Structures are given as structure tokens and as C-alpha cells.
Amino acid sequence: MGLKMGKIKTDASVCRECQACTLACSLYHEGECNLSLARLQVIKDMARYEFQILICQHCESPECLAACPSEAIVLNEQGVAVIRDDVCVRCGACAEACPYGVLFYNEARDRYLKCDLCAGRPDGPLCVAICPVGALVLEDRVTEEA
Amino acid sequence: MAGGWTGKILDVDLTTGKISWRDTHRYTRDYLGGRAIASRIAWDEIPDGIDAFDPENRIIITTGPLTGTLAPTSGRTVMSGLSPRLYPKTWYTHSTLGGWFGAEMKYAGFDGIVIQGKSPRPVYLEMRDGHARLVDAGDLWGMDARQTQITLKERMGAQAQILAIGPAGENLVRFSTVQHAEDNAAGHSGFGAVWGSKNLKAIAIRGTNGVAVAHPERLMREVLELGTYKIAPFSGALYTSLYTKTKTAREHRPVCSQACTFNCQVGNYGKASDGRRIPGHCVGGIAWMTPDFLKATQYSGGGVEIPPARNFGMCEEAELHELCNSLGLDSWFRLVMQPWFVRCQQLGVHQIRGYTFDPNDVYWFEQFMRDLAYRRGLGALFADDLMRAMDELEGELPEELIALGRRLEFAFGFPAHREGRFWDEEPLPFWVISAMMYASETRDPTIGGHHSSLMLADFVLADHEVGRRQLRILSEKVWGDPDALEPTFEGKAPVAIWSQHQHMLIDSFPLCDFSFPRIIVPPESREEWLAAEDLTGDLDIDLRLFAAVTGIELSRAEVFWIAERAFTLERLMLARAGRHRQMEEQWLAPHFMLPCRVDGTSIDPEGFARILDEYLAARGWDLEYGWPTAETLRRLGLEDAIPTLEAYRRERTRLIPSESPLAVHLSS
């Protein structure tokens, strides 16, 4: 039996910084529109007019999970690494270990944030559904269980 | 939990350096947000009898309850105050801008900013999460608007959002902008010069909080159902005409506002010579980047000749567009000045006060833009805009050129727009609706025209028979009168008033005026449109988005009452400036005597007086001054304004002289 996992592939070259993805993300997860509480970030370099989309790459062997000293990062039923906020001790080891720099610390709330592919949402990740230019695409992938 | 507003409006006195705040909820029940709140603050606080450059003029920057949320196109900001562009004297108006600034201001904890006074030295306002301070801007003064933003982002982080003026604003050019991001601007109203007069270089904001949403799931559902619309050209003549719904808009057009999930046909990318993409919108975007766009300014009729002007090539246009935004000039200046200089050449005028010009040469034009921004040479003469330049040059140039200059900015200094002659294809009755708006509003009927006139006019232009049949059904549903959009001169006031109130609401929630209200159902194709019986769209999306965010359910009648009250306060600001019906009639009527560019229709001065009578009666404004009656003010809960307005009626010296500057040309 295979574990079904997914990954959001990004194409920053078509992004235009409407922030619909980050707004939808924070609205879904936190019930408010707050770019600093989103599980992904869109950043523009104004001088070059270039964009960066920062979002969890859902590594097959998540280094964040391995680095967490308090077992606050676990694989959920879909095989997605998620943060258990009630267990997290805010040490920051996960964010430091992440090779892509996509675990975000929200200072105001003292919380670490990570994409969970909108765990439990039947129609899949909201950011993918709402992106009007296809800069975010869900790639399914199946990995064989060892 | 209620959502939407943050609850604070920042007050900044640049003279004393004092910074404080007031409670937004003093205004929200009666004025919602944005442009409507600004109208109340302006009436209460901008002193009577001052000019736009008086330190006591206010810069009122407002967002609305939807700004910063997922509501599509809601990331907008409104700027209001006395505008130096207006002629013959400055009065209150507004400019709206898209972008990311308003949202960041909400995330920093503020719904708006009211700025007064004049700083003794150049400063910028820095705002971070609930805090604000004035910072010396000696090192930024003289820098262009783009570089100012990049510099402040280096200080505050890439996510900081900035409003800044360029050299044009610093040098008090009357059509200078306040710029934001690549090509967002509070442009038309010349507020850059007001900032310059106050020694205010920029406002830089970084906010890390959020906007509360009363019903998150409901908001999400509304947005997903709305989908990603494409605003597509329809008849081919126009660019903003209708929306087709597509699952994913993959044409990769830029957006001009946070939370815009639409694919807007008035946005486009250009390319700089160093390979960078340059986004542009509307006149600064698709327009400047469309070959031969400036041929569309050509007009010939009623003794008026406006020659076509030349586009300079796609790459050149993109770079000129960026230069325009860096200098901080309202890009509309080009639509009037370039053809005017071409006409000079045609009439054998090749130099003015010793300065030669070549308006169709890109090198000359680029230099002219810089000269405008720095008030050098010929630029110094035109930096006060075409109307004032014509006053200056009267007697030096052939009469036709002076008259043409005055006609190009016939609307009290604003370039012609939505009036069906020089600019925009508006057949009867749409230009009649625009004429009513010109005579009653603080500025050109930019956006009321976009949805109520232009978009619908496009159907009639595409197929007269089909369009007219569909509009009769739509008119019955929206205005309760199948004849509301019939090509006649009578009975158009209800559409004009409806458009003005819708526009006030769109600027106050706020939402994009190109996209809302959704007066029609977007057909997928021309074939589908031709087969459609009824085009009437979903007009209450704005109220549902508002309810989802704030938790407050309002009816159309309730929000229209709010819109009418705010619109009336704007009219009171015009009364304060001395604008009145007789003057409006005499200044505007000559323009509408010219034949309409698409159907040749026109109106004589007697007819023009009749359409104003109809409009004023429908508004409950008096026929003599065109000002609200005491009864109307009472109905709107504006009793407190009655004594002031009565005093204005007794002061005949307050009134701007009725005789139009065009009168001299018309009688000769």
C-alpha cells in the first residue's frame, strides 16, 4: 500500500503578487486575513520586479521533523508533516533545519507555521484553488512504504 | 466576532509634529469607509476659503472594511483633499489607487490617516504595528518616486508598502501623483503637489497583524464562487467592456491591487531595455503599450480639430511609462498635451517663448517630461497644466490653439473623459448621463462611467438592435423603467444618480470600479451574448462580501442612503468652493454642443439646461445654485449643515463667475 502525499509546485514567473493564496491560507487556518499568519509567503523584489513564493516542499524525509527535539512535528494521516502547536516548545530547530526556509515564525503570536496542504479539506489546498494564474499547482505523488 | 475595520484613524500634524489617533467607529455606521468617511472629515475639518497649497489643507487617506481581506480587488486606498489641478480655483476631490498600501496600513492597525499642517523640513511618515513617527527625509528629497520606495524597502524590508512623491510633487506640478509600487498612483487630482507643499516625501508602512473577518467560511465561499474573471475586450473598440468567466486566467496579466483574482484587460507587461518586465494599467498600461493608441485621441467636429499623436514603440513606451511614474506625473497629461503640440505644428507654430518642440519625437518628449517635473524651460509653463498655460499664453498664440487647450481640459482642468467627444465612445444616452455627472461631481465621471455607461454602451456599439433589446430588460430590473437607457435626452437622471451612489459605495467598501458592480452576467462568447435574453447580473455581491467580513447585514436601500449622504457632503464641499449651477452650465454646455464621436448627437444650451433641471429636481437640489435644499439635508440627517449652506447662499461673492473661459472663443 502506498502513502499518498502531495507537494505544491510553484511557478513564480507567472505570479503577480495578488496575495489571494496567502489571504485564503490565513483565512482558512486562522479565521482572519493576515499575511503573517499564512503558511506560505509571496515576496516581491521591487528593483527587479521578480517574485518569490515560499512554501513547504514536503520533503520525503523531512529535516524539520528530524530536527524537532520535542516531537512536535509528526506525519498526519496523509503523510504530511504538521506542527502540533500544543507540543511545540518554540525552539526554532525546525526552521533552522529546513533547507528551503519555509517554516515561518510569527513573532506576535509566538508560533511556528508550516503548510499542511489544508489537511482535511476535501477539495485540496485552498491556495491552489484560488490562484488565478496557476502559479501554485498540486502535484500528487505516491511513495512506496518501506 | 465583528470584523473589517481596525478601529483607528491616525492624525498627523506636520507643523507641530503631533501624532494622535481617533476612533474609526465615530464614522462607520453613517459612512462605512473610504471615500464616504473622507467626505465627512473634509466637511468638518478643511477650513473654508483656503487653497490646495494652504498648510491647513488635509491629506485624507482612507481604506474601507474590505481592505486587506480576501474580498476580490479590495486592496484599494482613497486619497482626498483640495486638488491643485482644479481650475479656476482649487476644490475638494479624491483619487483612488490600487496596490498593497491600504492593506498594509490595516495590518499596521489603522483604517486611515489624516494629515494637516506643513513640516518645517522634508519628512516621511513611518508606521509600524500601531506606532507612527516622522523621520527626516533630507536624504530622500530630490529622489524619484521609484527609487524612494526601493530605498525605504531596504530600510524596512521588502514587505513594507510605500506611498511616495517624485520630483514633480516636490516642485508642485499641478498634475503630480502620489506613487505606489510600480504603477499605482493617486494621479488625476495632483495630490503629489499637496504632499510637496507640506514637505511630506513618503509614507512607509509595515504591519504584521491581520484584519478580522466575522464569517470566514462565508467569505471564502463567496470568493470561490465569484471565480477568476477575465475582463475582456468586446466590440474591439474598447478595453474594459465585459467579463468572461474562466476557470484559470492564464494570460498572465499583472494585477494592480491586492486580492484581485481577475485577469484585467487594461493591464499589460512591457519590457525595459535591461530586460525587466514593467507592469502597466489603463492609460499607463495597455494604452501606452498598444500601437497607435494615441490615434484614438483624434477628433474632428464642430470646428474643433484634435490631430492624432504618435506612439513611440513598445519598449520606448514602457520606459516612458516607468519614467512618468518615477517623476510622479499623471500619465493623462500626455493625452491632452501631445495632440495640442501637434496641432501647434500644424498651424505653423514651431516655438513658444523661444523653446522649440517636437511632440512626436521620443527624445524631445522624454526631455519635456523631465522639464515638467523640474519646472524647467517649456515645462515650467505647462507644469500648472493646460488651462493655466492657456491663460498665460493668451494673445501670444493663434486663438484656435488657446481654445483647443481650454477644450481639452474643459472639465475645470480635468482632461475630457467619458464624455463621448474627445475621449471614449459614448453614444446617446450615455454621454447625457456623463454630462449630468460632470455638472454635479467633484471630478470627471471616471468610474461611474466605467460600469454604468461605457460597459453597457459597448453592447449597443457591438450590435445596436440586440444591445438595445437587452438593455430594456436590464433597465426594467435595475431602475424600474425599460426606457432608462433609451437613446433620448429625457429621464436619464435616475441612472446618473444610481451610478454616482454605486460609485461612492465601490470607493468606500472599497472594491475595483472596473469590476463592480456586476451589472451584467458575463457571457462566455459573442455567440452566447447574441443569444442571451437578459444580461442582468448579480448586483448584491458587494453587500454579501461586506456582510461576510463585518457581520453586518445591510440592504441596498440602507447603503444607498449612506452613499447619498456622502455624495451630498461632496456637493457641499463644492458649494463651499463657490461652484454653482449657473457656472457649471455655462462652462460645460459648449463641450456637449460638439457632435458625439460615435453617433453625431449633440445638445444645445437650452437642452443642456433642461437635463440639469431634471437631474437637480431628482436629487432634491435647488435649481438656482444646484445645492441641496434644507429639506434634502434633513432627510439625510445632515441638519447640522443647513445654517452653513444658508450662509453660503447669502454670500454672492463666494460664487465662481459664471462666464466660461471658452465664451470668448465662442462669440468670436
Residue B50: CA count within 13 A, CB half-sphere: 20
Contact A132 B224 (CB under 8 A): no
pLDDT of residue B247: 36
- Minimal Cα–Cα distance from B537 to chain A, Å? 22
Residue of A nearest to B152 (CA): A46
Which residues have CB under 8 Å from B62's CB, separation 6+?
A: B9, B33, B34, B35, B37, B38, B77, B78, B80, B111, B112
Contact A33 B276 (CB under 8 A): no
Give the lowest-confidence range in B51-60, B214-223, B308-317, B391-400: B308-317
Partners of A134 on chain B (C-beta within 8 Å) are: 248, 250
pLDDT band at B314 (very low <50, low <70, confident <90, very high): confident
pLDDT tens for B455-477 read 788 788 888 999 999 999 999 99
Residue of A nearest to B180 (CA): A46
Give the lowest-confidence range in B74-88, B157-171, B251-265: B251-265
Q: Give yes or no for a cis peptide into B254 (omega within 30° of 0).
A: no
Nearest-by-Cβ selection for A23 from B69, B150, B159: B69
Chain A residues with CB under 8 Å of a chain B CB are 14, 16-20, 23-24, 26-28, 30-37, 43-49, 106-108, 126, 129-130, 132-134
pLDDT tens for B321-340 read 999 999 999 999 999 999 99
**B280 pLDDT exceeds 80?**
yes
Per-residue CA distances from B641 to B18, B145, B504, B616, B617 (Å) = 29, 40, 20, 19, 20
**B530 pLDDT exceeds 90?**
no
**B586 pLDDT exceeds 60?**
yes
Instruction: Give me the residues of B, 153-172, that contact A with CB < 8 A.
Output: 153, 158-159
pLDDT of residue B228: 61
pLDDT (mean) for B74-100: 97
- Minimal Cα–Cα distance from A109 to chain B, Å? 10
Nearest-by-Cβ selection for A46 from B153, B213, B223: B153
pLDDT of residue B267: 76
- A–B interface: beta-carbon pairs under 8 A: 111
pLDDT (mean) for A47-71: 96
Nearest-by-Cβ selection for A18 from B69, B261, B276: B261
pLDDT band at B528 (very low <50, low <70, confident <90, very high): confident
Q: Which residues of B284-322 are buried (b: 16+ CB within 10 A; e: fewer)?
A: bbbbbbeeebbebbebeeeebebbbbbbbeeebbbbbbb
Residue of B nearest to A13 (CA): B252
pLDDT band at B568 (very low <50, low <70, confident <90, very high): very high
pLDDT tens for A61-102 read 999 999 999 999 999 998 999 999 999 999 999 999 999 999
**A51 pLDDT exceeds 50?**
yes
Percent of residues, chain B, with pLDDT higher than 90: 78
**B667 pLDDT exceeds 50?**
yes
pLDDT of residue B243: 41
Pick the CATH number of B226-370 from 3.30.420, 1.10.3470, 1.10.569, 3.10.620: 1.10.569
pLDDT of residue A143: 53
Contact A132 B261 (CB under 8 A): yes
**A144 pLDDT exceeds 80?**
no
pLDDT of residue B262: 78
pLDDT of residue B245: 42
pLDDT (mean) for B122-130: 98
Q: Torsions phi, psi of B167, nearest 5?
A: -60, -30
What distance in Å separates the CA atoms of residue B478 and residue B178, rounded to the nearest whole number?
Answer: 37
ipTM of the complex model: 0.95
Which residues have CB under 8 Å from B29's CB, separation 6+?
A: none
Sketch out chain A's domains with CATH numbers. 8-55+115-136 (3.30.70.20)
**B244 pLDDT exceeds 80?**
no
Pick the CATH number of B430-667 from 4.10.860, 2.60.40, 1.10.10, 1.10.599: 1.10.599
Nearest-by-Cβ selection for B255 from A16, A106, A107: A16
Q: Does B248 touch chain A (CB under 8 A)?
A: yes
- Minimal Cα–Cα distance from B162 to chain A, Å? 11
Question: Cβ distance B499 to B451 under 8 Å?
Answer: yes
DSSP code at position B62: E
Domain ranges of chain B: 8-206, 226-370, 430-667
Looking up cell 507540543 gives A87
Q: Torsions phi, psi of B621, nearest 5?
A: -110, 155
**B600 pLDDT exceeds 80?**
yes
**B256 pLDDT exceeds 80?**
yes
pLDDT of residue A58: 94
What distance in Å separates the CA atoms of residue B35 and residue B447, rounded to the nearest whole number?
Answer: 13
**Preferred mutation among B5, B184, B213, B326 to probe A, highest tally of A CBs within 10 A:** B213
Partners of A31 on chain B (C-beta within 8 Å) are: 213, 216
Residues in chain B: 668
pLDDT of residue B255: 85
What distance in Å separates the CA atoms of residue A118 and residue B623, rounded to the nearest whole number?
Answer: 61
As given in the structure block, the three cell numbers for residue B573 are 464641499
CATH class of B8-206: alpha beta
Higher per-residue confidence, B549 vs B286: B549
Nearest-by-Cβ selection for A31 from B100, B129, B213: B213
Nearest-by-Cβ selection for A24 from B70, B150, B211: B70
Instruction: Give me the residues of B, 506-545, that contact A with CB < 8 A.
Output: none
Q: Closest Cα partner for B231 from B209, B211, B212, B254?
A: B254
**B521 pLDDT exceeds 80?**
no
pLDDT band at A140 (very low <50, low <70, confident <90, very high): confident
Averaged confidence pLDDT in chain A: 91
pLDDT of residue A2: 40
Give the lowest-confidence range in B54-63, B259-268, B471-480: B259-268
pLDDT band at B289 (very low <50, low <70, confident <90, very high): low
